[in-house]
Homo-oligomer: A and B are copies of this chain.
Amino acid sequence: MSCLPAKISTGLEARLAACENTILSTSGIAPGYLQANLIVLPSRFAADFRLLCFRNPVPCPLLAESASVGNHSYLKSWMKDIADDKVAHCIDIRTDAPRYMVYRDGKLLKAKCKDLTEEWTEDHVAFLIGCSYSFETALAAAGLLPNHTVWGRVVPMYRTNLPLCPAGVFTGSTYTVSMRLYKKSDVEKVRGITRPYVATHGEPIAWGWEAVRVLGVSNINRPDWGETPFTAEGKALEIGDKENVPVFWGCGVTPQEAVMRASLPGVVMGHAPGHMIVLDVKENQVIEHT
């Protein structure tokens, strides 16, 4: 029997619920707390992956990693002004996401499994990467609720042609982006609101119809992940719409794609999409007004 409160309102409660398998998607769970993408790699690829994040901080904002090789319980914080012991109290990387994915030698081994206790070894290193859920709260608070949340849909995400700065074994990868439609006249306001969220992708990387071409998004109405975009009126998006323009942000799928593309030998793990690890850190603790 679960001793969890009826409503999950903190990161710790969310991790307990994930560990007890009483929640699935973390969407809307523990509002105001940072949710993180998880990537677990064999230690020999850890330095290159860390460097990939540092060279590409907009799509790959590194929040924390295993304090040492093989460590699934203590994290080193990469967030400014957040001490190591304030990231996620009593975390166990192997159990505290609701669902996981496991790959061996670049091929899917297990989808949506409940824990990583069998697969985790003394040679694994976990990385936690920022997620754009955070700035959506801020957008909503400013009266700029993203359309996909209005219509209860998953944010559309796309592969692009925009190359990442390579790092070691991680070469040939490109940005993935999330997209939210906004009125052309709201774009500068949207940029300003999301700008301080540097730990969670920050301000958009491109906007407007010209951006679709520059990024090499092949069909805006057929996202590679998530659901087809709707306008504020709940209609299908017309290409070149003069009022509703696409606004693109760096997306946390980017580092996962980079890892998949590198076809690493050995066992690689991650959270299942939408089934994130919720931290003890609150969104407003990592806002940076440079």
Contact = CB atoms under 8 A, between A and B. Distances in A.
Interface residues of A, number: 26
B55 A58 contact: yes
Contacts of A55: 57-58, 198, 202
Interface string A172-212: 00000000000000000001000100100011111000000
Contacts of A265: none
Given A47-B289, A47-B290, A290-B47, A166 B205 contact: yes
A51 B195 contact: yes
Given A50-B290, A290-B47, A58 B202 contact: no
Nearest to A48: B290
Contacts of A203: 166-168
A165 B165 CA distance: 12
A214 interface: yes
Contacts of A54: 57, 198, 290
A55 B51 CA distance: 14
30 contacts: A47-B289, A47-B290, A48-B290, A50-B290, A51-B195, A51-B198, A51-B202, A51-B290, A54-B57, A54-B198, A55-B57, A55-B58, A55-B198, A55-B202, A57-B57, A162-B162, A163-B205, A163-B214, A165-B202, A165-B205, A165-B250, A166-B203, A166-B204, A166-B205, A166-B206, A167-B195, A167-B203, A168-B191, A168-B195, A168-B203
- 10 A-B pairs with the lowest CB-CB distances in the bound complex, closest first: A58-B165, A51-B290, A47-B290, A50-B290, A165-B205, A55-B58, A163-B214, A55-B57, A57-B57, A55-B202
